Chain A
């Protein structure tokens, strides 16, 4: 059997076992007399999944929430990745900048975004920009860490070969450092994406703007209204999007870059 088929089968079997365990637990009412509300069956979650997209909550479907979240997420990731490239690039040029920036990365990466929320609201005001800021915060530090590590690990040989063929400083960054650090960049993207997605939802759960409602607010509303099946169905949506990004975007990028180049980090 081919390895990829085998690996896929294993994953499918694993998910099937988990779902079966869920269903058995739901049907056995293991969580008390009102178990069906807090621990709904797969059928109920499936129906809620359809309902979320078809009907939604208070006349607003989950699509709207999802679109809002995605807009903020993309803006935040774009800014975060851009900033990480800029600052990591600068810290390859200036020793002083590198020293200060490494300290900033080490400190800022420890701060949970939602703990910064009150300060961010005071600075930015009550705007969707607050969520964007928190997404940037969750992306920029792990991404920078990976980029700096990746740039530092670029063999001197590539840099000299690049200088030899007449590359300028900018040429070296785009022509040598970035492709040579690609495996680090990709792992930075993976970590950054996961943190951004999680950070977005947790920020939206405690800071919800009704005029630009996001998926985190939807979860919170479902929770407040005790619509647990709808809440679980929304978590399924979150997982599906995560898988799409992982298997539909990040893995193909990896395959077509470091995979094709024989540069995969072992």
Chain B
């Protein structure tokens, strides 16, 4: 028994020494991201080590996959996450709540669509009049805000359909739509592409225009502390992500080969879907989105201007 304890202690000591040694000479970065094709550049950056290459010195990056923007926000606030990638909605919510981060890059824009299996539904009037339920990923999510914005753009109360929402994960919503359990599903890539190809479903056209793929969908946020205290690392992060986005745009087939391993789709499908997405470092519509969220009570505090939302190196609006 004593012997075992001694061995255990020795092993622990060794481990501690080893980690202390590595911590001494290497910079460390924890990046939280989520799952899906909208995050494709991150898979590239991770496997091709673009950020490490852009950094002058040893760098250890820990990639953590989380399941929601809210979780990543909590991680950043507790100091255990330095960099996170999430929907533009939770990012704006986080900034308005003083999570002490800002947007350091755009990552991707994707198409959104509102699909239905009900022949009689064509316009928002039809949906509002028939009290038809709409499945989307979460109440208060970016999809919900896009719906509200589209309603407002078309002259309706942005909250007119709030009582018709049903929160379900994207794949669950798709199977519910296909099974006829729910008449409408508001979703994004790649589900929207599959649903558009499915016979018997048609799209509510009005929503397509509300948030085109040129606008920001997924953005990267970085702790203000990182920007203030370790600029070389911050710059390497921005450069690495920019390189990854360039790679995705320039090597669609290679990227598809990589991401299809995680998604289980065919390389051809992945490549087609990647081409339909918009991968760009410049943001689109972030300030407009923030104002809309504030004016329609999706957030309580004023998120401020574009300069309050992004670091000074970010291009776009």
Direct contact of A and B (CB under 8 A): yes
- Pick the interface stretch among B74-82, B188-196, B241-249, B252-260: B74-82
Which of B76, B90, B98, B139 is within 8 Å of A210, CB to CB?
B139
A207 touches B90 (CB 8 A): no
B53: A residues at CB distance < 8 A: none
Is the pair A117, B98 in contact by a Cβ cutoff of 8 Å? no
Q: Give the bracket for the number of chain A residues in contact with chain B.
A: 20 to 34
Please give the distance in Å from B227's CB to the nearest CB on chain A. 14
Using an 8 Å CB-CB cutoff, how does the interface string of A48-89 with B read, 1 for contact, 0 for none? 000000000010000000000000000000000000000000
A223 with B70: in contact, given A208-B166, A211-B164 (CB under 8 Å)?
Answer: yes
Kindly state whether residue A143 has any CB partner on chain B within 8 Å.
Answer: no
With A37-B98, A38-B77 as contacts: A224 and B138 at CB distance below 8 Å: yes
List the B residue with the shortest CB-CB distance to A224. Answer: B140
Q: Count B interface residues, CB 8 Å.
A: 44
Interface string of B148-185 (1 = CB under 8 A from A): 00000000000100111111110110011001111000
Inter-chain contact B167/A208, CB cutoff 8 Å: yes
**Shortest CB–CB separation between residue B50 and chain A, in angstroms?**
28
A126 touches B165 (CB 8 A): no
Report A-chain residues with C-beta under 8 Å of the C-beta of B90.
224
A contacts, CB < 8 Å to B: 31-35, 37-38, 58, 117-118, 121-122, 124-126, 206-211, 217, 220-221, 223-226, 228
Given contact pairs A121-B176, A126-B176, A207-B168, enumerate 13 new A-B contacts (beta carbons under 8 Å): A31-B79, A35-B77, A38-B74, A122-B176, A125-B176, A207-B172, A209-B165, A209-B166, A210-B139, A210-B163, A223-B68, A224-B93, A226-B73
30 contacts between A and B (CB under 8 A): A31-B79, A32-B79, A33-B77, A33-B100, A33-B225, A35-B78, A38-B74, A58-B162, A58-B297, A117-B172, A121-B172, A121-B175, A121-B176, A121-B179, A121-B181, A124-B181, A125-B181, A125-B182, A126-B135, A206-B168, A209-B167, A210-B162, A210-B163, A223-B70, A224-B69, A225-B299, A225-B300, A226-B70, A226-B93, A228-B74
